[in-house]
Amino acid sequence: MKLSVFTASTPDLTLGETISAVKEAGIDGIEWRFADVPQDALDESPSFWKNNRCSIPIASEKTKWFEYRLAAEEANITSVGVLPNMAAGDLVTTERLLQAASFMDASFIRLGVPLYNGDESYSKLYEEAREYLSKSELLCRSYGVKGVVEIHHNTIISSASAARRLCDGFDPAFIGILYDPGNMIYEGYENFRMGLDIMGPYLAHVHVKNVSWSRVDGAEGNDIWKADWAGLRKGCVPWPQLVGDLKAVGYDGYLGLEDYSGEFATKQMLHEFAQYFKTLLG
């Protein structure tokens, strides 16, 4: 297994600073955040989802893609993936992201997945998502880039089994699952090793973060529990065990850092991640 980092979690670093920090930490790859920075956020402090200084605009062209690709290539860092926040069914953006990923020699893009809040039935959202994946598979095949769906709370695939059901029958060479056990602590937890078995050939990528639950006071003595980001060694995901499980099922892809805990400053966060996981990987 190799290590990568998603630039959503390095918002205070510019492209050049990101490349230098990733190289210095000994991390092998980068997952690029493809998203627009709102104009009214440019004067704000750096943040994961707004003023992120290492984001590639959705409407960017090959000149911008080449800048990012070249920066990584010159540092001998692999462009692993292209990750937007994209609505399910958006085939126009899907194809644009596939064009960018192909040009940047990245192996996958993140596809959109329907959110679930109870307003629409699961069955309807599931069928719409299957139709979108069917069309996306054709596009992925034509560009030679895999499309992955991420296990995520508040979506129709909050667990490994739900993600496998959504992907079942598609070609795992072009449609896969981004396994995110941290998100599963929010919602969708099931035995991690069993989940890896369930995903089988659809397991395409792994995100590394951690989450913990804490109790807060509720009205009239009714306790309320809340989940929030935690340091990699401090949350509910047992990463030493999970790395062993990934080895046991033969996973040899990337472990991509996506740490929003704020436990460390960005450059130290990269070093801590690399040191910890290189030890776990042996």
CATH number where 162 lies:
3.20.20.150
pTM to 2 decimals?
0.95
Taking residues 172-185, what's their average pLDDT? 98
**Band of the pLDDT at 216, cuts 50, 70, 90?**
confident
Cα–Cα distance for residue pair 254/224, rounded to 1 Å:
36
pLDDT tens for 3-56 read 999 999 999 999 999 999 999 999 999 999 998 877 777 778 877 877 788 999
Cα–Cα distance for residue pair 72/93, rounded to 1 Å:
24
CA-closest candidate to residue 6, choices 73, 70, 61, 79: 79
Residues 190, 161: contact at Cβ < 8 Å?
A: yes
pLDDT tens for 122-145 read 999 999 999 999 999 999 999 999
Indicate whether 272 pLDDT > 90.
Answer: yes
pLDDT tens for 230-269 read 999 999 999 999 999 999 999 999 999 999 999 999 999 9
- Please list, in sequence order, all residues whose beta carbon lies within 8 angstroms of the beta carbon of residue 280, skipping any fewer than 6 positions away: 239, 240, 243
CA-closest candidate to residue 259, choices 1, 2, 11: 11
Fill in the DSSP letter of residue 202: G
Give the CA count within 13 Å in the CB-facing half-sphere of 2. Answer: 16
Residue range of the domain that includes 191: 2-281
What does the pLDDT read at residue 94? 97
The share of the chain scoring above pLDDT 70, in percent, equals: 98
Indicate whether 279 pLDDT > 80.
Answer: yes
- The total domain count for the chain is 1
Answer positive or negative: Cα dihedral of 80, 150, 3, 9: positive
Taking residues 53-63, what's their average pLDDT? 91
Q: How many CB atoms lie within 10 A of CB 151?
A: 27
